[in-house]
C-alpha cells in the first residue's frame, strides 16, 4: 500500500498566497514602468495663458488691456508693476521664444529664445500705456544688452512686447524721446517685438517677493 511520507511535497494556502502576491507586485511594477515610458514619449501640450475675463465672483471685468515687458529677473519687475495705480493684475512668465510651454530650467539654459517677462493687465481709464512705458524704463537699465546686473543671457534682455500698432508706436516714440534727451550714456538696447504667446511661470514664481514679505525690490 502506498503511504505518503515526509518527503512528499506539500502545499498550503500560505504558499499559494505568497506566489500570487509576488505576481501581483511584479505586474504592478511592470505597469508603472511601461506607463512612465509612455509618458516620457508623449509630447508636452502648450499652455499659453491669459487673464480671465471675469472677476472672482464670475462677473465681467471692466474693460482692460494688456502689456508685456522684459526687464531682467521678473520677481522685482512684477512687484513694480503691481504697485502702479491702475494695474489690475500682473503675472510672471516666459515669452518671445520658440519652445512651447517652457520650464524655468529650460529658459535658464538660454536656448529657448524666451525672455523672463511680466504680463500686465491694466485699466486704460486709470493708467496709460505711456505711463507703463515710463515705469519700465525707470526701473531697469535699458542700455544693457542681454543682461541685467549679475543676470546674464538673452532671457534677461530688455524688451517691450507689443499687442497693437498703437503700442508699438508708443514704444518707438518713448525710445526716441529718451535718446533725444540723452538720458543714458550708452545707446538703448531695448528691443520692440510683436507679442507672442505668454507662458505663465511655475506657481512658486508668482508674487515671489510678496510671499516672502518684501513689498518692493530694486530691479
Share of the chain residues as helix, strand and coil, in percent rounded to the nearest 5: 35, 20, 45
pLDDT of amino acid 215: 60
What does each C-alpha distance from 86 to 9, 58, 112, 123, 209 come to in angstroms? 85, 21, 33, 5, 21
73 is catalytic: yes
Asked whether residue 45 is domain-assigned, the answer is no
Residue of 73, 118, 160, 219 marked active site: 73
**Residue 124 resides in a domain:** yes
Calpha distance 199→95 (Å, rounded): 6
Residue 165's pLDDT band, with cuts at 50, 70 and 90, is: very high
Q: Is residue 97 part of a domain?
A: yes
Number of domains comprising the chain: 1
Specify if 47 maps to a domain: no
- Report the C-alpha gap between 92 and 205 in whole angstroms: 7
Domain that holds residue 161: 65-211
Please check whether residue 33 lies inside any domain of the structure.
no
For residue range 70-99, what is the model confidence (pLDDT) as tens digits? Answer: 999 999 999 999 999 999 999 999 999 999
Tell me whether residue 87 is in a domain. yes
Question: Does any domain span residue 187?
Answer: yes
pLDDT band at 68 (very low <50, low <70, confident <90, very high): very high
What's the CATH number where 142 sits? 3.30.1060.10
Whether residue 173 lies inside any domain: the answer is yes
The CA distance from 94 to 102, in Å, is 8
pLDDT at residue 24 is higher than 70: no
What is this structure's pTM? Answer: 0.74
First-to-last alpha carbon distance for the chain, in angstroms, is 98
Amino acid at each position: 500500500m502506498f503511504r505518503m511520507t515526509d518527503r512528499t511535497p506539500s502545499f498550503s494556502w500560505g504558499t499559494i498566497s505568497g506566489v500570487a502576491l509576488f505576481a501581483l507586485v511584479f505586474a504592478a511594477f511592470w505597469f508603472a514602468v511601461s506607463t512612465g515610458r509612455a509618458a516620457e514619449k508623449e509630447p508636452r501640450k502648450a499652455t499659453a495663458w491669459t487673464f480671465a475675463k471675469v472677476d472672482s465672483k464670475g462677473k465681467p471685468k471692466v474693460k482692460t488691456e494688456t502689456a508685456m515687458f522684459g526687464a531682467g529677473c521678473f520677481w522685482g519687475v512684477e512687484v513694480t508693476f503691481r504697485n502702479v495705480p491702475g494695474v489690475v493684475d500682473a503675472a510672471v512668465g516666459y515669452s518671445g521664444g520658440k519652445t512651447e510651454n517652457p520650464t524655468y530650467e529650460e529658459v535658464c539654459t538660454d536656448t529657448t529664445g524666451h525672455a523672463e517677462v511680466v504680463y500686465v493687465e491694466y485699466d486704460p481709464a486709470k493708467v496709460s500705456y505711456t505711463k507703463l512705458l515710463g515705469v519700465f524704463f525707470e526701473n531697469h537699465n535699458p542700455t544693457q544688452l542681454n543682461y541685467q546686473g549679475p543676470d546674464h543671457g538673452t532671457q534677461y534682455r530688455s524688451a517691450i512686447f507689443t499687442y497693437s500698432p498703437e503700442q508699438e508706436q508708443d514704444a518707438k516714440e518713448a525710445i526716441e524721446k529718451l535718446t533725444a534727451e540723452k538720458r543714458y550714456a550708452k545707446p538703448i538696447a531695448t528691443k520692440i517685438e510683436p507679442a507672442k504667446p505668454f507662458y505663465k511661470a511655475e506657481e512658486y514664481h508668482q508674487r515671489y517677493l510678496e510671499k516672502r514679505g518684501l513689498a518692493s525690490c530694486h530691479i
